[in-house]
Amino acid sequence: MLFHLITIPLAVIYSNLLEWVIHKYILHGLGKKRKSFFSFHWHAHHNAAKKNNFYDHNYAWAKTGPALRERLGLYGLVLLHTPLVIDAPFFFVTITLCALYYYRTHKKMHMVPKWGRYFYPWHWDHHMGKDQDCNWGVTVQWVDKLMGTRKPVYMDYDIRDY
Q: Which residue has the higher pLDDT, 1 or 13?
A: 13
Q: In the prediction, which pLDDT does 162 show?
A: 47
Does pLDDT of 3 surpass 70? yes
∠ CA 145-43-105, rounded to 5°: 50
Q: HEC string of the chain?
A: CHHHHHHHHHHHHHHHHHHHHHHHHHHHHHHHCCCCCCHHHHHHHHHHHHHCCCCCHHHHHCCCHHHHHHHHHHHHHHHHCCCHHHHCHHHHHHHHHHHHHHHHHHHHHHHCHHHHHHHCHHHHHHHHCCCCCCCCCCCCCHHHHHHCCCCCCCCCCCHHHC
Mean pLDDT on 33-45: 91
C-alpha to C-alpha distances, 132 to 23, 45, 86, 122, 153, nearest whole angstrom: 11, 12, 40, 11, 11
What's the whole-number average pLDDT of the chain? Answer: 92
Q: In the prediction, which pLDDT does 125 show?
A: 96
Distance of alpha carbon 94 from alpha carbon 110, whole angstroms: 24
With pLDDT > 90 as the criterion, what percentage of the chain qualifies? 82
Does pLDDT of 157 surpass 60? no
For residue range 100-133, list pLDDT tens digits in order: 999 999 999 999 999 999 999 999 999 999 999 9
For residue range 62-91, list pLDDT tens digits in order: 677 888 889 999 999 999 999 999 999 999
Q: In the prediction, which pLDDT does 13 show?
A: 98
- Whole-model pTM? 0.90
